[in-house]
Amino acid sequence: MTIPRATIRLQLNRDFTFADALAQIDYFTALGVSHLYTSPVTTAQPGSTHGYDVADYGTVSAELGGEAGLRRLAAKLRDRGMGIIIDIVPNHMGVGGAHNAWWRDILEWGRHSAYARHFDVDWHSPDPALRGKVLMPFLGGQYGEELAAGRIELKFDASDARFVVTYGPHVCPVCPADYAALLQSANHAELDALAAPFQGLTTQPDDHPRAAAARDALRTFVERNGTAAIDAVCTAHAGTDPAGRDRLHRLLERQHYRLAWWRTATDEVNWRRFVDVSALAGVRVERHDVFEAVHRLVFRLYADGVIDGVRVDHIDGLADPREYCERLRQRLVPLRAAVPYIVVEKVLAHGETLRDDWRVHGTTGYDFMDDVGALLHDPAGAAPLAQTWSALTGTSAPFALVQFDARREVLAAYLAAELDHATRALHRIAREQTVTRDFTYASLHRAVAQLAMHFPVYRIYPVNGMRGPLDNGYFDTALAAARQALPLANRAALEQIAAWLGGRAPDVATLVANGKPPRTAKTAPNAAQNVTNMSNVPNVPLSHALIVQRTALALFSQLTAPLAAKATEDTAFYRYGRLLSRNEVGSDPDDFARSVEDFHAANKRRAQHAPYSMLATATHDHKRGEDLRARLAVLSECPDEWSATLRAWSTLNQPHRRNDTTDNADWAPGAAAEAMLYQTLVGCWPPDLDSGDEAGVRALAERVAQWQRKALREAKLRTNWLSPNETYESDCQAFLFDILAPQQRDGFLNALAEFVARIAPAGALNTLLQTTLRLTSPGVPDLYQGTELWDFSLVDPDNRRPVDFAARAAALDSAPPAAKLPHWRDARVKLAIVQRLLALRALAPELLREGSYVPLEVHGALAQHVVAFARKRDDACAVIVGTRLAAKLLDGDMPLVAAQDWRDTAIAIPKDCAAPLWHDWLSDTQISDAEKAAQGENTLYLRDVLQAMPVAVLSNLTPARA
């Protein structure tokens, strides 16, 4: 089995290993998933909590249990008819520290390292201090200060016979070309002899074996005599002594790296990062040799049947995602008779679809999360909630404007180096043509910045260096906006950039006339970075023009993608707070709500184009848990009540603000941060938490405080990660703990708990609908670890907390979800829905995964409160019915509309889906339609279908136990 029926995402780390996952197989089996879908299993930096900082692509993490542990897990799963999908990280590796052998080799040998082309390093920096070097921006302070403080040290690693420069956990090898001088500086006869083999060493590859042999002799000497003599060399380079500091500085100046303050990375980093994370370096997986090195373990695990497929992380970071997906598929397919399951992590803008020519099974589910999330929101709430937000914060800017301001700021303050790299690639093209050589770097820089800031999607995907119609649609939107923003004097540069970025093929004839003859890929200049794989296939004729144009295209795309992510998800989402349930990865807060028809249309597209795409409502990267968002969506149904509540709480808690005086506008936390804090508290308040439970409230406050600090820094308004305003942050935390203090029990705490209690039933109803739709829509449902019960988590690391699987296993039984609805606060009804619908998927896998999708017509008094569709495959049929926007329909504490209130509301069933007897998988009740079917009336009344539950899944298939 390779195409999953349903997956459960597991976050592996040293506290939850392969052995821990193996211990839960009985639970996973009983739950009904077909595959475990794991975070990366390759060796990451020591202590990694997520696995995305890969240090070694070739080995399975020993912290997780090693390859033997993974194989034991896979074997046990195979015995149960289950499998594994793993997350792979081809875009970047963890650097810094001491554990990435590829990166250490680059630091040691520079551009002549065997791995110099494995990373996206610009060895031709215009900065003389970085030419031929790698910026190492890991110092906690200015270079001179850290050097004088003795925190940068020369050491000798006896186990490896290497001189290294260390700074905290970071280890930078000294180039062997410097060993002779170092050893001779000790004035020690034996060290002088050991220095001889190092004399005259160069960084050329032919000298690398000679260096290794010389180190072997050095190792032998140390094993026999110890390190006392060599330690003297290190002591002579101590930074705390002026003479030693000068020696160490001069030594460092000769290395293939430049140690620098971490803040320099924004402006000067000369290698591609993962977004703005300077501990993660971009990998040139577009090169054939790098691709094979990165995936060798993956191919072996797949060929051996250990894994059944892969989830590709951060696909938009790659130079050419289409080419990468094609090569990955071509390499995997011959290894097994089965079809490899391949999905990609891709954030799609509203209306954007995954490219068909990638030939993968789909995305990891952000698009579905957005579709179902928008369905839960009442469009009538958009305007009044916006008015409330405007009145509280003093700004009426829509999200699009907030996002644009964030893009401008992030580009200037966080991605300046990436903008510089893209601009220089274009400037290089300009200089090589007589007709464009007078376009200045500054004019191109301004134009590229405006294009990037206005780009409506993450990136474009040209084929063979040319934009297609889809790309042109997005590019032209940015181009038109950039034209309006730029002075007339810069328009010509902008139009030329549009041509170079895939608008037209390079003019090879012009370049030949200018002395730039076509070259083969084999002799392509090393200056060209990030070209697609075609440039690495020997004897394929590629002009220099085509190479540099593709370089520019890739660098521009590798700028717009992180800019979109950083500015939207990690900045604007924390500035704009009309309703935080729409501030989620893959969503646009301005796209507030969607109709049932919109939801059906999205599902039909998915069924047609990506029937095996993942369906997610929670991920390890979500901003807010699925049930938190479902509860906050209720506020769209009662905007006036929420507005009054916000104002009342703001007045009630005013005494707890810091510096809130008539002459101080910078009070803490500030209007926007305070309003978003109240939404967060409403969303994450546990259903069973009593306001008098001091320990429980304190635990909640500590979780929210962690979120608050991250939210304030991500917003980048009064504090940020680069320059934290700790006084402001402390004041905000004090406000939070004050309003949740035990002495507020009869004030804000009770008001908060009472408000949550009023909307919680409608929020629970939204949860049950969202869960049912995820498990019955076209695609492969994914369960994020632990979300089988309530998920009121906040952004990471809160959403990556340990999961109590034992409690979930104990909650499993054979009772139908309807029997658990009266006790909905314990979330067992949610777990029971998951178990029941996964059982249906196991009984008829093709029905819900591949069956046709038929929107059903609903009519009657409450038709607008219903979503209904049918799934049909051969003779098997299922009808899915759910209640929506029901806050005003509920009476009391139950998340259920009274049967009689549905009145004449009914669903029309197509004749080819009609059945004389329906079994409801969620209530174990039978609904007979025989008499109506005989009369030609194929109708199901909601008063019959939704008597016991707010959702129903009717089928002509009956559970084996029934």
746 in the same domain as 867? no
Sign of the four-CA dihedral 405, 408, 412, 413: positive
How far does the chain reach from its first CA to its final CA, in angstroms?
A: 28
CATH of residue 134? 3.30.1590.10
**Which of 544, 573, 602 is a domain's end point?**
573
Q: How far, in Å, CA of 185 to CA of 840, rounded?
A: 76
**355 located within any domain:** no
Q: Indicate the number of domains in the chain.
A: 5
Other C-beta atoms lying within 10 Å of the C-beta of residue 747:
14
308 in the same domain as 379? no
**335 located within any domain:** yes
Q: Are 558 and 346 in contact (CB under 8 A)?
A: no
Q: How far, in Å, CA of 161 to CA of 219, rounded?
A: 5
**Spatial CB neighbours of 189, under 8 Å, sequence gap ≥ 6:** none
Q: Which of 181-195, 328-342, 917-931 has the lowest mean pLDDT?
A: 917-931
**Which of 541, 557, 573 is a domain's end point?**
573
Other C-beta atoms lying within 10 Å of the C-beta of residue 466:
14
Q: Which of 4-8, 470-474, 927-931, 947-951 has the lowest mean pLDDT?
A: 927-931
As given in the structure block, the two tokens for residue 368 are: 């579905």
211 in the same domain as 153? yes
CATH of residue 66? 3.20.20.80
The pLDDT tens digits of the residues spanning 779-836 come to 999 999 999 999 999 999 999 999 999 999 999 999 999 999 999 999 999 999 999 9
418 in the same domain as 303? no
- What is the four-CA torsion angle of 846, 849, 850, 851, rounded to 10 degrees? 80
Q: Are 343 and 364 in contact (CB under 8 A)?
A: yes
Give the model's pLDDT for residue 121: 96
Other C-beta atoms lying within 10 Å of the C-beta of residue 769:
25
Q: What are phi and psi of 914, to 5 degrees?
A: -65, 150
Q: What are phi and psi of 151, to 5 degrees?
A: -80, -15
> Which helix H or strand E contains 362, and what residues bound it?
strand 362-363
Q: How far, in Å, CA of 48 to CA of 27, rounded?
A: 26
**924 located within any domain:** yes
Show the beta-strand stretches assigned E in 544-618: 614-615
Q: Are 733 and 673 in contact (CB under 8 A)?
A: no
What are the Cα distances from residue 479, in Å, to 497, 549, 550, 611?
10, 18, 19, 34
Q: How far, in Å, CA of 417 to CA of 409, rounded?
A: 14
Q: What percent of the chain has pLDDT over 90?
A: 90
Give the model's pLDDT for residue 513: 43
Examine the pLDDT at 422 and tell me if it is beyond 60: yes
185 in the same domain as 57? no
Q: How far, in Å, CA of 272 to CA of 117, rounded?
A: 12
As given in the structure block, the two tokens for residue 727 are: 């006084």
> Which residue type, as a one-letter code, is found at position 484?
Q
563 in the same domain as 453? yes
621 in the same domain as 475? no
Q: How far, in Å, CA of 272 to CA of 821, rounded?
A: 52
Q: How far, in Å, CA of 496 to CA of 506, rounded?
A: 11
Give the model's pLDDT for residue 507: 64
- Average pLDDT taken over every residue of the chain: 93
Mean of pLDDT values over 917-932: 84
Q: How far, in Å, CA of 477 to CA of 451, rounded?
A: 9
The pLDDT tens digits of the residues spanning 850-884 come to 899 999 999 999 999 999 999 999 999 999 999 99
Classify residue 240 by its DSSP letter. Answer: T
The pLDDT tens digits of the residues spanning 208-253 come to 999 999 999 999 999 999 999 999 999 999 999 999 999 999 999 9
Q: How far, in Å, CA of 827 to CA of 760, rounded?
A: 12
As given in the structure block, the two tokens for residue 349 are: 């803008």
Q: Are 275 and 721 in contact (CB under 8 A)?
A: no
Examine the pLDDT at 431 and tell me if it is beyond 60: yes
* Beta-bridge mates of residue 259: 136
Residue 818 class from Cβ within 10 Å (0-12 exposed, 13-18 middle, 19+ buried)?
Answer: buried
Q: How far, in Å, CA of 126 to CA of 106, rounded?
A: 20
Examine the pLDDT at 526 and tell me if it is beyond 70: no
Q: How far, in Å, CA of 159 to CA of 101, rounded?
A: 15
**309 located within any domain:** yes
As given in the structure block, the two tokens for residue 164 are: 């290294």
519 in the same domain as 665? no
The pLDDT tens digits of the residues spanning 274-315 come to 999 999 999 999 999 999 999 999 999 999 999 999 999 999
Mean of pLDDT values over 608-613: 96
Mean of pLDDT values over 328-355: 96
Range of the domain at 951: 806-955
Give the model's pLDDT for residue 911: 87
**What Rg value do the Cα atoms of the chain yield, rounded?**
30
**49 located within any domain:** yes
**Which of 758, 774, 789 is a domain's end point?**
758
116 in the same domain as 27? no
Examine the pLDDT at 362 and tell me if it is beyond 70: yes
SS (H, E, C) 532-556: CHHHHCCCCEECHHHHHHHHHHHHH
Confidence of residue 532 (pLDDT cuts 50, 70, 90): very low
Residue 238, SS3 per DSSP: coil
**363 located within any domain:** no
What counts of helices (H) and strands (E) characterise the chain?
Answer: 35, 29
**130 located within any domain:** yes
The pLDDT tens digits of the residues spanning 136-172 come to 999 999 999 999 999 999 999 999 999 999 999 999 9
Examine the pLDDT at 691 and tell me if it is beyond 90: yes
Q: Which of 187-196, 561-570, 731-740 has the lowest mean pLDDT?
A: 187-196
> Which residue type, as a one-letter code, is found at position 361?
H
Other C-beta atoms lying within 10 Å of the C-beta of residue 665:
9
pTM for the model stands at 0.94
SS3 content of the chain, % helix, strand, coil (to 5): 50, 15, 35
The pLDDT tens digits of the residues spanning 15-37 come to 999 999 999 999 999 999 999 99
- What is the four-CA torsion angle of 844, 845, 848, 852, rounded to 10 degrees? -90
Q: Are 506 and 549 in contact (CB under 8 A)?
A: yes
Q: Work out the widest C-alpha separation in the chain, in whole angstroms.
A: 108
Parallel, antiparallel, or unpaired: how do β-strands 876-883 and 906-908 relate?
unpaired
**Spatial CB neighbours of 499, under 8 Å, sequence gap ≥ 6:** none
Sign of the four-CA dihedral 136, 137, 143, 147: negative
**365 located within any domain:** no
293 in the same domain as 180? no
Confidence of residue 709 (pLDDT cuts 50, 70, 90): very high
Q: How far, in Å, CA of 403 to CA of 614, rounded?
A: 28
Alpha helices in 129-197 (DSSP H): 143-148, 179-184, 189-195
Q: How far, in Å, CA of 599 to CA of 858, rounded?
A: 15
254 in the same domain as 318? no
What value, to the nearest 5°, has the Cα angle with vertex 643 and ends 640 and 649?
140
Give the model's pLDDT for residue 661: 72
Mean of pLDDT values over 192-198: 95
* Closest alpha carbon to 846 in 928, 780, 945: 780
Mean of pLDDT values over 655-683: 91
569 in the same domain as 433? yes
